[in-house]
Amino acid sequence: MAHRSAVTTQFSSLICLAALLAACSPAPSPTQARDATATARPTVAAPSSTVGVPVTPTPSPTEAASPSSSPEPPITQASATAFWDATHGVVGLTTWSQDGAETQGEIRTTADGGHTWWSGTPIRNGVGEIAVAGSGAAWVLSRCASDSAGCESTLYNTQDGGRTWDEWATDVTQVSFVDPLDGWGVVGGAISTDPATSSLRRTADGGRTWSAMTDPCPGLTGWTIRAAGFRDASNGLLVCALTAGAGGELHAVLSTSDAGRHWTLRSSTGEPEQTQPVGQLPYGGYITAIAFTADGTAWLSGDRMAVEASRDDGVTWRVLPVGGDGQASVAPWPLDRTLGFAVTADPDGPGSILESTSDGGRTWTVRHRFVPDGADGPVQSNTPPTYLGDLSMDASPAPAWTGDAVTFHITTDPTGGGSEIFVAWVNVDFGDGTTKHLVGSCAEGVDVVHVYHRAGRFVPHVTSAGGCDAAKPVDPSMASMPVRVYATASAGERRWPACTVAQVALDSPGSRKAFGDAATSVVIRNTSRQGCTLAGYPAVTLLAAASRALPTHWRRATTGTTLSPAVTPHVVALGPGEAAVFEVGWTEDPGTAALTYAASCPASTAMRVGLPGSVASATVRVLSRPCGGQIAVSPVVSGSTALGRP
């Protein structure tokens, strides 16, 4: 399962409500503020799915009261949530000043289904949305400091359930991931941005770099991509929108079964040319998020609209009774057809609540209340128990090759500052249909060796484990490590001749960039009727206009680069029509060079590639500016997907 969750807070109504309560009601007691007990909530009558623009509530006279003599404190609200399973999840809190400006955000995690939350990582500009994949990978996208096109946000990523986070700048406004590496993102999806700036992106390295995809929205002026959600590496849903006036937009839901290369219309509200609606997608509101689970459940949410659910890949939709009358902001997160979570405004106060459903969204139960000052539950006064040890896992080598032994080292990271807890036994699922039980020594971490016999991406994880002290249990839920496995040639295939340039065609999807570094993948496809092999590092020469050779200093990327991992060379077999790929990396930062940028980093329009073991070469078009002509070249690996860090 992979999907995303986001909520757009209505600043004015939130602040007015806070002012009203501050003037008329006593402050909650510490006991009330820390009450995290689950309480059943009556089902709220859902708005009709055929209603058009929702009616804006009329402000009460109290909202126009004169300001207080002392400044009002900031308000903290839960703005996004996502769950790996029924017990482990993430929530994002955003703090707003009284003038509606975001001041800061915080990421918290839970291990008991949202009843209690552990304080965690502060972030800048508030939490915009959260996505999770696997058993411990999560992405938190901070809100952009402005709504202007091209504004950069910050993408935070954890691979260990929230214990540690990496961060990098991004122009992506929505994300959806299907595993710790593969995801899709939308650029320019905010309601206020220019529709011409929106685009669909894809990543194969966990969100560090992104490549552009063909625009899937209808070929009409003004249509833009709002959000995308994928349930696996092939199947996804996407929302296109056209602003039609105050209070609502025209929408279209499209589906793909080939990872976003082609799209099919599933439902729509119609188009300006008076085309008829398709399916049962209601008009009104501004869709900002679409969540898509492994069993085909989809939830739509946004501003000025009720949450809508579909069980037929986006053709028909029904209203879910969460978030009141559709005016409150809701960030929903479905786990499957029956289980789901949502954060929304608290109908009984100025804070927000986490609700859950176990019947597909028909009824909802309050799991937790987030009070306006952010000091709810046991977050500030308590820490996770010191006796609990969280398992962690790493792999070597990674990436790996078929037939090679991969060693997974499993250790414990005790929470709360306790001493290390050794593992007595573990059960490991290697993600390829095989499992293993191993007994530890109670003196050090456990090493589990496994050989993969087929290529692909796998997410091995610990399914259960026992500590050496029965009174000190361990938590295996976050012990996973994605591994990419490449196909090495079989004994029979190794007898094939080496590939020649006359047998292959070269292609490049373009370059990827991050923090001054760049890389491109070069795909080598066998266009002949005879199988051949490749092994080792291609030779690469940079070319300028008119195929003029530029000074090139290339090295073997034996230790990897910023944008690609280290890979040990193996023999790769290419049958007719099959492909292999290698990576070329470089920097576009001239550093302290005294020359101008153009002189230090001359523009290259193509690369001349010599295949391993061949003196002949072929040319592939790649636009690049390697400073000093310095490039790093990886060995050839099987497949056509860019190398990425697992």
CATH class of the domain defined by 493-638: mainly beta
Task: Tell me what pLDDT residue 254 has.
Answer: 92
Per-residue pLDDT, averaged over 279-290, amounts to 80
Contact 177, 644 (CB under 8 A): no
Q: In this model, does residue 280 exceed pLDDT 70?
A: yes
Q: pLDDT tens across 22-80, in order?
A: 333 333 333 333 333 333 333 333 332 222 223 233 333 333 344 444 566 778 889 99
Percentage of the residues of the chain whose pLDDT score is greater than 90: 36
Task: Tell me what pLDDT residue 18 has.
Answer: 34
Q: In this model, does residue 485 exceed pLDDT 90?
A: yes
Strand 118-123 vs strand 102-110: parallel, antiparallel, or unpaired? antiparallel
Q: pLDDT tens across 591-604, in order?
A: 765 567 778 889 99
Q: In this model, does residue 533 exceed pLDDT 60?
A: yes
* Domain boundaries of the chain, sorted by first residue: 3-37+73-370, 389-486, 493-638
- Residue type at 513 in one-letter notation: K
Q: Which fold does the domain 3-37+73-370 belong to in CATH?
A: Neuraminidase (2.120.10)
Contact 631, 584 (CB under 8 A): yes
Any idea how long the chain is?
646
Task: Tell me what pLDDT residue 46 has.
Answer: 30
Task: Tell me what pLDDT residue 541 has.
Answer: 96
Q: In this model, does residue 505 exceed pLDDT 80?
A: yes
* Six token digits for residue 389: 């040890």
Per-residue pLDDT, averaged over 425-454, amounts to 86
E strands of 536-638, at which residues?
539-543, 553-556, 571-574, 579-587, 604-610, 617-624, 630-633, 637-638
Task: Tell me what pLDDT residue 223 has.
Answer: 79
Q: In this model, does residue 549 exceed pLDDT 90?
A: yes
pLDDT band at 443; cut points 50, 70, 90: low
pLDDT band at 134; cut points 50, 70, 90: confident
- Residue type at 226 in one-letter notation: R
Task: Tell me what pLDDT residue 589 has.
Answer: 79
How many other C-beta atoms can be found within 10 angstroms of the C-beta atom of residue 572? 29
- CA dist 118 and 97 (Å) reads 24
pLDDT band at 577; cut points 50, 70, 90: very high
Per-residue pLDDT, averaged over 146-165, amounts to 76
- Same fold for the pair 3-37+73-370 and 493-638: no
- CA dist 490 and 568 (Å) reads 17
Task: Tell me what pLDDT residue 538 has.
Answer: 96
Phi/psi class of residue 590: alpha, beta or left (left: φ > 0; alpha: ψ in -120 to 50)?
alpha
Phi/psi class of residue 274: alpha, beta or left (left: φ > 0; alpha: ψ in -120 to 50)?
left
Percentage of the residues of the chain whose pLDDT score is greater than 70: 74
Task: Tell me what pLDDT residue 524 has.
Answer: 96
What's the CATH number for 389-486?
2.60.40.10
Task: Tell me what pLDDT residue 71 has.
Answer: 60
Task: Tell me what pLDDT residue 638 has.
Answer: 95
pTM as predicted? 0.57
